[in-house]
Amino acid sequence: MKLSSANINVMVKACRKASKILIRDFGEIENLQVSLKGPGDFVTASDIKVEKFLIEELQKARPTYSILSEEAGQINNDESFKWIIDPIDGTSNFLHGIPHFAISIGLEHNKEIICGIIYDPIKDEMFTAEKGNGAYLNNKRMRVSSRSKLKDCIICTGGHKRDSKDRELALEEYKKFSSKVFIPIRKFGSASLDMAYVAAGRCDGYWQRDLSYWDIAAGIILVKESGGFVTDFNGENRYIQNKTILVTNSKINKEMIEVLSS
């Protein structure tokens, strides 16, 4: 079985086409690493190229929908439907030739994410979900893990920026979780893929501060449709407003909240 609604088909088609640009540019990174100029400007150009292509494809298919995207910002049309786009989530990985990054697109209807796609073009892994219709990895149904004890779980988080006002809080949270789990905490460098991995049962939980909406939009529906929980650090539905997100399987959410509040 696979998801095949009209909106999902539009998203899949746009991602697959855009991924050709991304894969080609990623192949040039190794050469750029040894140049005097460095790859920074090139990656910025790739981000903009992929985003422009995605916007054109999505507007062609759904000309009345609004768009929120990392580089282009807000494009206002029909506010009841809005695409949320991150053209390269895991830009630093891309920049350094690390093959772990993704295209992320969520579709919001009346302020609620109703479908989402996270596509890892290097591994050719397509994570898709639609409200009420489940979540899939390359057309195979996904479920969150069933591990019930935090100490046995694989937990993910992201890096904190050096100048972040919450840097010390993030470091303290990292220490707390490190003392609770047997397996070292994973930091893969792509928020959307961290959420997709929780949805697929590869990781059991994920927490992060100071993310933008485009980092998490598609992941929200993936996790929910896989049977997982998405909350803020207090267990409430204010993760967008509070910019603190906690993503877990259905068994360890309370335990992770307790660690964060201790």
Q: Do both 174 and 209 map to the same domain?
A: yes
Q: Do both 134 and 25 map to the same domain?
A: yes
Q: Do both 101 and 53 map to the same domain?
A: yes
User: Please, which pLDDT band fits residue 43 given cuts at 50, 70 and 90?
Assistant: low
Q: Give the count of domains, the chain.
A: 2
Q: Do both 173 and 196 map to the same domain?
A: yes
Residue 24 lies in a domain: yes
Of residues 78 and 18, which shows the higher confidence score?
18
Confidence at residue 232, expressed as pLDDT on a 0 to 100 scale? 95
Confidence at residue 31, expressed as pLDDT on a 0 to 100 scale? 62
Whether residue 37 has pLDDT greater than 60? no
Q: Do both 137 and 55 map to the same domain?
A: yes
pLDDT in tens, 61-78: 999 999 999 888 899 998
d(CA 105, CA 237): 21
Confidence at residue 34, expressed as pLDDT on a 0 to 100 scale? 41
User: Please, which pLDDT band fits residue 35 given cuts at 50, 70 and 90?
Assistant: very low
CATH of the domain at 10: 3.30.540.10
Whether residue 36 has pLDDT greater than 50? no
Average pLDDT, the chain: 91
Q: Name 229's Cβ contacts closer than 8 Å, sequence gap at least 6.
A: 223, 246, 247, 248, 249, 250, 253
pLDDT in tens, 94-139: 888 899 999 999 999 999 999 999 999 999 999 999 999 999 999 8
Residue 1 lies in a domain: no
Q: Among the listed ranges 44-53, 103-112, 194-203, which one has the minimum average pLDDT value?
A: 44-53
Q: Compute the average pLDDT of residues 206-233.
A: 96
pLDDT in tens, 237-257: 999 888 899 999 999 999 999
Q: Compute the average pLDDT of residues 20-30.
A: 85
Confidence at residue 174, expressed as pLDDT on a 0 to 100 scale? 93
Residue 121 lies in a domain: yes
Confidence at residue 41, expressed as pLDDT on a 0 to 100 scale? 52
Q: Compute the average pLDDT of residues 191-202.
A: 98
Confidence at residue 97, expressed as pLDDT on a 0 to 100 scale? 87
Q: Do both 12 and 133 map to the same domain?
A: yes
Residue 162 lies in a domain: yes
User: Please, which pLDDT band fits residue 32 given cuts at 50, 70 and 90?
Assistant: low
Of residues 196 and 47, which shows the higher confidence score?
196
pLDDT in tens, 135-185: 999 989 999 999 999 999 999 999 776 677 778 888 999 999 999 999 999
Q: Which domain holds residue 172?
A: 150-261
Of residues 212 and 29, which shows the higher confidence score?
212
